[in-house]
Chain A
């Protein structure tokens, strides 16, 4: 599947061979996407995998659950309505074509 990141430095990076089942954080980290750090390895506790989901993809991706939303408080100064933690988004076929913007650090 195809996933596009707008990196923190503004440069777009498109990954064509993303696999369903992996998380957006792991995908970004494996491909050296600028700004996706994933310090806690996907444990939903560090918020260093924060992205803004493109508005047309928001419904498909869905909202954060309670713990994710509470962890997003770490980055409250850069929080938006379309904020998600990349490690909590598991890729599935319906997300083919997804586009996200990596958020600046909080």
Chain B
């Protein structure tokens, strides 16, 4: 048995711009030394598909949480630090169960399907505004609808204060371990906290109550003593933060694949079920998150001993491109029908709460976009966001032929 900290593992320069622009050559070189695990500056990176499935689902030996990032920025005593350590994604066991069950009913696939008409309305309104332009940065366009959709679920007016979007934009940059990110995400944090605090106070003062509005469900949970004041606000924030970058980046990455496949794109305009197929392959091919874990109880796996306290991140994007799991992993094949289902929504107790909402809004989004933005083409090289945090395009400049229906 080898201690994982003593093992001869390759290094993955996962924080660098070159990696986020094109991780494949780095991943290929790392796989030649070890097939599923590597090092990075803060700990270990699991990048093999099978190991990702096994270990990400292991809620016994791993705890989630962003304590490494909080400590890196020295923000243990800041409210932001508390959020990063106490919100849904960071807690385990009974507390996690209690928090998750306070919102579970709003995130079932049934509920996601019920809100599809509302999603179509939001997306159509955005397209009415953006399509006549004939060209735009698709990454910027895609940033608009996830927030509107989450606010719709909460049951609050969908016209968002633009400063909130900016706050959201910078939140997950905290996971890049880049000192330059600190002032950005902290400024964003103040805006977001103020936003959720006001949302609760104003709703309570209004006396409104709508059993379908998630905000009211959460306020009710607080009245019953299931959530406290801070937990309620943290919950509102984790929903907007977790649903924002993820959905918009996934949409832009999928669009990039479709631009190269005009026939598939045309079919998306006709057939929403096909949009689901495209989306599944996109989630495999270009998944965007790198969940964080810390080993909380020593264990053995595949000949390695993992000690308590070891930081492990799971590069789901690389797991989706693992040649041991997928044939021609780099090629985008919507008809691939893999037995190996993607890991883009994670595994285990923290598996994406918003997965059904995400699917529904991305399917509806692709379907309507393909109808309204005809013949999309790239007008400049896209630029990339950091790999850690939420990977994806920073910009995806396109031109297209607007269509009214």
Partner-B contacts on A (CB < 8 A): 38-47, 66-67, 69-71, 73-74
Which of chain A's residues have a CB closer than 8 A to the CB of B348? 39-41
6 contacts between A and B (CB under 8 A): A41-B347, A45-B104, A45-B356, A66-B105, A71-B109, A71-B110
On whether the beta carbons of B349 and A73 are closer than 8 Å, the reply is: no
B135 at interface by CB-CB < 8 Å: no
Which chain A residue shows the least CB distance to B356?
A74
Determine how close the nearest CB of chain A comes to the CB of B102; give it in whole angstroms: 12
Contact present for B105 and A41 (CB under 8 Å): no
> Which chain A positions have C-beta within 8 A of B347?
39-41
Out of B109, B110, B351, name the residue touching A43 (CB < 8 Å).
B351
Kindly provide the distance from the CB of B382 to the nearest chain A CB, expressed in whole angstroms: 32
B355:A45 contact, CB within 8 angstroms: yes
- By secondary structure, the B interface counts as helix
Shortest distance from the beta carbon of B158 to any chain A beta carbon, whole Å: 24
List of 3 A-B pairs having minimum Cβ-Cβ separation, nearest first: A70-B108, A70-B110, A40-B351
Are B57 and A41 within 8 A (Cβ)? yes
**Quick one: CB contact mask for B48-89 with A, threshold 8 Å, 1 for yes?**
000000000101000000000000000000000000000000
Pair count A-B, CB < 8 A: 50
Kindly list chain A residues whose C-beta atoms are within 8 Å of the C-beta of B113.
73
Choose one: B108, B349, B353; the contact of A42 (CB below 8 Å): B349
The verdict on B100 contacting chain A, using a C-beta distance below 8 Å, is: yes
Contact of A46 among B105, B110, B351 (CB under 8 A): B351
Asked if B107 lies at the interface with its beta carbon under 8 angstroms from chain A, I say yes
Chain B hits for A46, CB < 8 A: 351, 355
Known: A43-B104, A45-B355, A71-B109. 10 other contacts (CB 8 A): A45-B104, A45-B107, A45-B351, A45-B353, A46-B355, A69-B110, A70-B110, A70-B111, A73-B108, A74-B356
With both beta carbons as reference points, the residue of chain B lying nearest to A105 in the complex is identified as B341
Chain B residues near A44 (CB, 8 Å)?
104
Q: A45-B351, A46-B351 are in contact. Are A39 and B105 (CB under 8 A)?
A: no
A71: chain B residues within 8 A (beta carbon) = 108-110
| CA A47 to CA B80, docked complex, whole Å | 34
A40 to chain B, nearest CB (A): 4
Query: Closest chain B residue to A43 by CB distance?
Result: B349
Quote the shortest CB–CB distance from B298 to chain A (angstroms). 21
In the assembly, what is the distance between CA of A42 and CA of B347, in Å?
10
Chain B residue with minimal CB distance to A71? B108
Among B107, B109, B351, B353, point to the contact of A73 (Cβ < 8 A): B109
- Shortest distance from the beta carbon of B404 to any chain A beta carbon, whole Å: 34
Q: Once bound together, how far apart are the Cα atoms of A5 and B349, in whole Å?
A: 24
Contact flag A41-B108 (CB < 8 Å), given A73-B113, A74-B356: no
Kindly provide the distance from the CB of A2 to the nearest chain B CB, expressed in whole angstroms.
26
Chain B residues within 8 Å of A69, by CB? 110
Complex contacts, B105 vs chain A, CB 8 Å: 66-67, 70
Structural contact, B351 and A39, CB atoms closer than 8 A: yes
Shortest CB-to-CB span from A22 to chain B, Å, is 14
Whose C-beta in chain B lies nearest to the C-beta of A42?
B349
CA of A44 to CA of B110, assembled, Å: 13
Chain B residues within an 8 Å CB radius of A66: 105
> Distance in Å from the Cβ of B113 to the closest Cβ of chain A?
7
A70 in complex: contacting residue of B57, B100, B109, CB < 8 Å:
B109
A46 to B53, CA, bound (A): 14
Contact string against A for B residues 300-313, beta-carbon threshold 8 Å, 1 for contact and 0 otherwise = 00000000000000
> Residue of B at shortest CB range from A68?
B108
Query: CA of A67 to CA of B353 in the docked complex: distance in angstroms?
Result: 13
**Chain B: minimal CB distance from A38 (Å):** 8
Instruction: Collect the chain A residues with CB atoms within 8 Å of residue B351's CB.
Output: 39-41, 43, 45-46
**Residues in B whose Cβ lies below 8 Å from that of A39:** 57, 347-348, 351
B57 near A73: Cβ-Cβ < 8 Å: no
Which residues of B336-390 are within 8 A (CB) of A? 347-349, 351, 353, 355-356
CA distance A38 to B222 in the complex (A): 30
Q: Kindly state the separation between the CA atoms of A39 and B343 in the bound complex, as whole angstroms.
A: 9
Residue among B59, B100, B104, B105 with the most chain A CB within 10 A? B104
Scan B99-133; emit 1 where CB is below 8 A from any A CB, else 0: 01000110111110100000000000000000000
| A43 contacts B100, C-beta separation under 8 Å | yes
